Amino acid sequence: MDMYREQILDHYKHPRNFGTLKTSDAKASAYNATCGDKISIEIQCQMTNAKCQIKEIKFSGEGCAISMASASMLTERVKGMKVSAIMKLQTKDILGMLGTFLTPSRIKCATLPLEVLQKAVVSLGHVRK
């Protein structure tokens, strides 16, 4: 069960930061039509020098173990991060974060949360896509 190693299963069964925020500075969601994965992310900013630093973040939705585990891990990782750093995150960072071998068809599951997070960050207005 290479892909479903313990850490992935743990994040899938006990997702961190799952839920919604009472108030948020930005939110976004995406839906992978081919498989039915749906992820929404809400963020709250700590403004430092007019730039957003993630203070609070929550994700919600439903999807496969990979997309859910990825969302859980990603939200843990980006707490306290500046949005400029978040925009620099790429597929290889997500794969490194998951630390497991993914078949090509599952890579999209893994990167969906990052796509949503970056969409939310962009909607804040002070970063470029």
Partner 1 sequence: ENGELNLEELNRLITRKTKLLAITAVSNVIGTINPVKTIVRTVKRLNPGCLVLVDAAQAVPHIAVDVQDWGADFVAFSGHKMLGPTGIGVLWGRFELLEEMPPFLFGGDMIREVHVGETMFNGVPHKFEAGTPHIAGTIGLGAAVDYLTTLGMDAVRAHEEAMTAYALKNLSRVKGIRIIGPHDVSQRGGVIAFTVSGIHPHDVAQILDQDNICIRVGFHCAQPLHEYLHIGPTCRISFYVYTTKEDIDALLVSLEKVRKLLG
Nearer to partner 1, 43 or 94 (CB): 94
**Is 71 or 109 the residue whose CB approaches partner 1 more closely?**
109
Chain residues that interact with partner 1, rule: CB under 8 A? 1, 3-4, 9, 12, 33-37, 62-66, 103, 106, 109
DSSP letters spanning 61-127: EE--HHHHHHHHHHHHHHTT-BHHHHHH--HHHHHHHHTS---HHHHHHHHHHHHHHHHHHHHTSSS
Nearest approach in angstroms of CB 36 to partner 1 is 4
Nearer to partner 1, 27 or 31 (CB): 31
Contact present, 110 and 11 (Cβ < 8 Å): no
Provide the 3-class DSSP secondary structure of residue 52: strand
Q: How far is the CB of 110 from partner 1 (least distance, A)?
A: 11
In the complex, what is the shortest distance from the CB of residue 38 to partner 1, in angstroms, rounded to a whole number?
Answer: 9
* Nearest to partner 1 of 38, 51 (CB atom): 38
> What's the min distance (Å) between Cβ of 119 and partner 1?
22
Listing DSSP states for 83-95 in one string gives HHHHHH--HHHHH
